Structure 1
Amino acid sequence: MRTARFIGSWLAGLVSLSAAVLLFVLWLRFVIGTAGDGTPLPLLLLIGFGINLLVWSLVGVLRLADQAVHKVMRREPATIVRRRNAPRPAGSVPRHQKQRVLVASRGGDGGDGDRPAPGGGPPGPDTGTGPGTVRAPENATDPETISLAVIIPAHNEEVVIDGAIRSALRLFNRWDIYVVSDSSRDATADIAAQTGVNILELLTNLGKAGAIEAVIQEFDLIENYDGVAILDADTELDENYVEGVRRQFKDATVAAVAGFVVAEWKPQQRTVMGRLISAYRDRLYWLLQYLLRFGQTWRFTSVSFIVPGFASTYRTSVLQHLEINPKGLVIEDFNMTFEVHHKRLGRISMEPDTKAYSQDPFTLRDYRSQVKRWTLGFWQTVRRHGVWPSLFWFALFFYILEVVLVSVLLIITALIGVFVLPPTLIGDAVLGVGWYAEGYTAVSAVLPLSTVAVGLFVPDYMLTCIIAMIRRRPSYLFYGLFFLPMRLLDSYLTLRTIPQAWTAKSDGRWKSPERAALKP
């Protein structure tokens, strides 16, 4: 069976590669054939690929070269890293030992436990004295001694919370895992309590940022740990996640580690729409992380504008300076990242081997709601922090400029394509309508339907073929036919939420989308 799967995966890769090469040849012939006739192909290429991806991809290549040279120069022996936080000696009992399991609305017993104290060694001294002066713990250069806590905020997540906790239990001791049920109306808190981890149940719905803030304060996590990992309730950690975080925290300038998101691919649990969304997200994550964020998180750049909230880890010496839950924001991860940059608390780090798996929406309604929430949160964060002179904002400005420009051009181009499509579908009879005939002649003289199709769809689909080859999933060749409409939806929501960032009132509360149980 393994041999058959191996052969099948390679055949899928070859089919995808062949499709990509064929499309490139056809597209190149079209470009050469239309050269000099005024066809705006460069504009369509901007829409299809973008300048930011090209620039940051080149920076990413420089980062690879720098890492190779750095590795050769150091020639350090491999570091042995424990996967779990080792318990402290029995006599070491911090103030945090007064913790209790809070399941107030369930009538749970909040007795004190005899469990070992949290962490994998004594916490680093609190030496931060203000923005720009935060110093990492003294043991930051020894990955083996960095103690980590895990926070899992959850609101009505009874379907997935057990899987998320068990995923964390493979890498952490149960007393280092903290679940905060944000006024859940289902069995989220009860299921979490059965696993033996720390539980905090909020009787008032505070939203994700408020829940994170509450559990940090309740259990004194900043005083008892060197770092805090924040996971979504549907996140599954890769077995190398903790090792990767500790290795990156070895660099004392790293303030936060961004998890490398991988779209969960379990097609048997999804409808056709759910598979389309998952495939589209997989392509998007791959492009953004390898071609954009990898270059942005180089030690000489550090301009990444997001530490994704699905799996992020912050130094506690940095976390204590962040305003985690400011009023008026719908999500927390953009704001926390901007805070790190704005207060000059350190740099953002990301490595592809420090990954975790995320469950994407199953329905188009949930997808639309999630994207709207993400884009609104981004614009709200831009509004809140404003502009300050920095390399971060220099890079962010051109990113925002391109996102807005490409979104507008993509929607306009799609509308033009729809406008000139009727004669192809129903014949030239429609050209008998005077106003339409005049408009069709004028528009098609500049941007005929063939140019829209080849110049816009083909480059986008070539990217899909490349991802299908890399991921060895031939089904992407089918789902990729519908990725352009998904991009149109993303562009529409991006533009729509810009004015809402200045008008919408947000309290950070969220409604969980449809979920499927996390299975091993």
Structure 2
Amino acid sequence: MRIARFIGGLLTGLIALVLAAALFVYWFDFATSMAAAAGIGALGYVFLWMAFGLNLLLWTVVGLLRLAEGGARGALRRGSRGRQPRADPGGRERERLLVGAAGAGGGTALSESGAGTGPADADTVETAASDGAAAVQDPETATIAVIIPAHNEEPVIGSAISSALGLFNRWDIYVVSDSSRDATAEIAARTGVNVLELLTNRGKAGAIEAVIEEFSLTENYDGVLILDADTELDAGYVEGAKRQLADPGVAAVAGFVVSEWKPRERNVVGRIISAYRDRLYFMLQYLMRFGQTWKRTNVAFIVPGFASVYRSRALREITVNPPGLVIEDFNMTFEVHRKRLGRVSMRPDTKAYSQDPFTFRDYRKQVGRWTLGFWQTVRRHGVWPSFFWLALALYILEVVLVSFLFLITVAIAVFVLVGTFGGDVVAGLPFFTEGFTAVTAFLPLTALAIGLLVPDYMLTCVMTVVRRRPSYLLYGLFFFPIRIVDAYLSLRMIPKAWTAKSDGRWSSPTRVANKDRK
């Protein structure tokens, strides 16, 4: 059976790879021919590459540079391991001490060869100041508190706590039930972890703020992990987070989100949403945020609130729950950059598994909250001179422009479809025939279909190979409506961010009890 699955997966991967290559060649040839025929020259190529995202391409290149630097420094470290330390004039070996950073958990001293730093890439351990003073904290001695804010999370809270208990002591886990109307608090209490129950609904940010203050977490721990109630930590999460926190310049470690793939527990719509999210997360994290979190760039605009760690001395300076925001994670990340609290670190060794929406309605509501929260954060913080804002401005420009052009193109495609198949019913409408003739002369239905559908499906074929999931070839045919919703919400939430009043209270989606991951 395993051999059959291996062969089947290999054949599917080859088919998907060949299909992706064939679609790219066909799309590029068709698109460049159309651009040449329209006489738009070099500008046409810019719009072609916008089909994949200029920001995605830019930060992919930066991410490759980060990998190259990490590989070079790793080779140098391996080459220096065989060298013996020089003896001092008195015949005794010198011992260089790496003194812990000031602040929470910063008093540990390690010998240069001491245990605790572990294997790492170029971003793991860096000098903290330009004056040459090395400051490295022992990852093994760093203490981390786990906060699990929850509101009516009875189906999933047990799995989240169980996941945390596999990596932390129970007295280091703090569940805050934000005025839950179900058994969330009771389930948490039975596990023996710390439980704080709020009688007034404060929202996620308010719940986080309350539990930090109640237990003085930033005073008693080196770092604080914020874990969503529908999220489970990977076995290597803590080791990876502590390894990144060994660099005293790191203010926050962004969790690496992985969509739970449980097709047997979902209907067709739920599977399409989960597959779409898996593709989106892969592209954003590997091809975009990996480059944005390089120590030489540090422009990541989101430390996702599902499973991320903040250093306590940075968290003390962050306004966790300002008024008027629907979500907290964008704001907390902007605060790190605005107040120059340190850099955001992200590596794939801090994986956590998140539950995606099961219904299209919940998906729309969730994306709407996320998008509104982003624009509200931009409104709250405004613009300040920084490399962070330069990168953010490029991202905002592309999101707005691409979303607008995408929706306009979809509207034109619908118009052409109606004219093509509507027959005499629409032909008699005033000015319809003239408009249809003018539009199809420049953008025929074939061009619209290829321009909208082919680039998107190419990415799905690539993800089929990467994730080794043949079903993506089928589900990918239905991603297009989700992209329309994403584009619409990206634009719809801009004016709402300046007009709507948000209190940050929960909007609980449908939850399903977690079983073993597949």
Moved more, 307-316 or 424-433: 424-433
- Aligned residue number for residue 63 of structure 1: 66
Distance 1:186 1:139, change over 3 A: farther
Distance across 2 between alignment mates of 1:22 and 1:426? 33
- Aligned residue number for residue 93 of structure 2: none
Distance across 2 between alignment mates of 1:125 and 1:462? 48
- The C-alpha deviation readout for 1:110-151, integer Å capped at 9, x for no partner, is xxxxxxxxxxxx95269xxxxx99xxxx98521111111110
- Aligned residue number for residue 482 of structure 1: 478
- Superposed CA RMSD in Å reads 2.1
Secondary structure of the 2:38 match is: coil
Distance across 1 between alignment mates of 2:474 and 2:58? 30
Distance 1:43 1:61, change over 3 A: closer
Q: Are the counterparts in 1 of residues 318 and 335 from structure 2 also a CA contact under 8 Å?
A: yes
The answer on 1:74 being equivalent to 2:41 is no
Distance 1:7 1:269, change over 3 A: same
- Aligned residue number for residue 465 of structure 2: 469
- Aligned residue number for residue 20 of structure 1: 20
The answer on 1:493 being equivalent to 2:489 is yes
Distance across 1 between alignment mates of 2:154 and 2:161? 11
Shift of 1:18: 2.2
Distance 1:457 1:39, change over 3 A: farther
In structure 1, stretches of 5+ residues that fail to align are 78-121, 127-131
The answer on 1:37 being equivalent to 2:18 is no
The answer on 1:185 being equivalent to 2:181 is yes
TM value normalised by structure 2 = 0.86
Q: Are the counterparts in 1 of residues 252 and 343 from structure 2 also a CA contact under 8 Å?
A: yes
- Aligned residue number for residue 203 of structure 2: 207
- Aligned residue number for residue 144 of structure 1: 140
Distance 1:141 1:245, change over 3 A: same
- Aligned residue number for residue 358 of structure 2: 362
Distance across 1 between alignment mates of 2:438 and 2:339? 53
Q: Of 48, 51, 54, which residue of structure 1 is paired with 2:57?
A: 54
Distance across 1 between alignment mates of 2:176 and 2:4? 44
- Aligned residue number for residue 446 of structure 2: 450
- Aligned residue number for residue 293 of structure 1: 289
Distance across 2 between alignment mates of 1:220 and 1:193? 20
- Aligned residue number for residue 332 of structure 1: 328
Distance 1:23 1:427, change over 3 A: farther
Secondary structure of the 1:473 match is: coil
Q: Which amino acid aligns with 2:26?
A: L
Q: Which amino acid aligns with 1:124?
A: G
Distance 1:374 1:39, change over 3 A: farther
Shift of 1:16: 1.4
Shift of 1:448: 1.6
Q: Of 221, 224, 239, which residue of structure 2 is paired with 1:225?
A: 221
Q: Which amino acid aligns with 2:61?
A: L
In the TM superposition, what are the counterparts of 1:121-520 in structure 2 within 5 Å?
123-124=104-105, 140-426=136-422, 430-431=426-427, 433=429, 435-520=431-516
Distance across 1 between alignment mates of 2:168 and 2:306? 17
Shift of 1:312: 0.7
Q: Are the counterparts in 1 of residues 104 and 312 from structure 2 also a CA contact under 8 Å?
A: no
Q: Are the counterparts in 2 of residues 45 and 456 from structure 1 also a CA contact under 8 Å?
A: no
Shift of 1:443: 1.1
- The C-alpha deviation readout for 1:473-517, integer Å capped at 9, x for no partner, is 111111111212211101111111111111111111012100111
Shift of 1:387: 0.5
Shift of 1:430: 4.4
Equivalent residues, number: 467
Distance 1:14 1:5, change over 3 A: same
Q: Which amino acid aligns with 1:25?
A: V
Q: Are the counterparts in 2 of residues 45 and 459 from structure 1 also a CA contact under 8 Å?
A: no
Secondary structure of the 2:36 match is: coil
Distance 1:420 1:216, change over 3 A: same
Distance across 2 between alignment mates of 1:5 and 1:150? 39
Q: Are the counterparts in 2 of residues 155 and 182 from structure 1 also a CA contact under 8 Å?
A: yes
Secondary structure of the 1:152 match is: strand
Distance 1:420 1:47, change over 3 A: farther
Q: Are the counterparts in 1 of residues 299 and 391 from structure 2 also a CA contact under 8 Å?
A: yes
Q: Are the counterparts in 1 of residues 135 and 248 from structure 2 also a CA contact under 8 Å?
A: no
The answer on 1:7 being equivalent to 2:7 is yes
Moved more, 266-275 or 478-487: 478-487
Q: Which amino acid aligns with 1:357?
A: Y
Q: Are the counterparts in 2 of residues 164 and 233 from structure 1 also a CA contact under 8 Å?
A: yes
Q: Are the counterparts in 2 of residues 13 and 472 from structure 1 also a CA contact under 8 Å?
A: yes
Shift of 1:43: 6.2
Q: Are the counterparts in 2 of residues 123 and 147 from structure 1 also a CA contact under 8 Å?
A: no
Secondary structure of the 1:158 match is: coil
Shift of 1:250: 1.2
In structure 2, stretches of 5+ residues that fail to align are 82-102, 108-127
Q: Are the counterparts in 1 of residues 104 and 313 from structure 2 also a CA contact under 8 Å?
A: no
Distance across 1 between alignment mates of 2:35 and 2:384? 43
Greater relative contact order (Cα < 8 A, sep 6+)? 1
Q: Are the counterparts in 2 of residues 182 and 211 from structure 1 also a CA contact under 8 Å?
A: yes
Distance across 2 between alignment mates of 1:304 and 1:454? 33
Distance across 1 between alignment mates of 2:224 and 2:236? 17
Distance across 2 between alignment mates of 1:425 and 1:301? 51
Shift of 1:44: 5.1
Q: Are the counterparts in 2 of residues 139 and 145 from structure 1 also a CA contact under 8 Å?
A: no
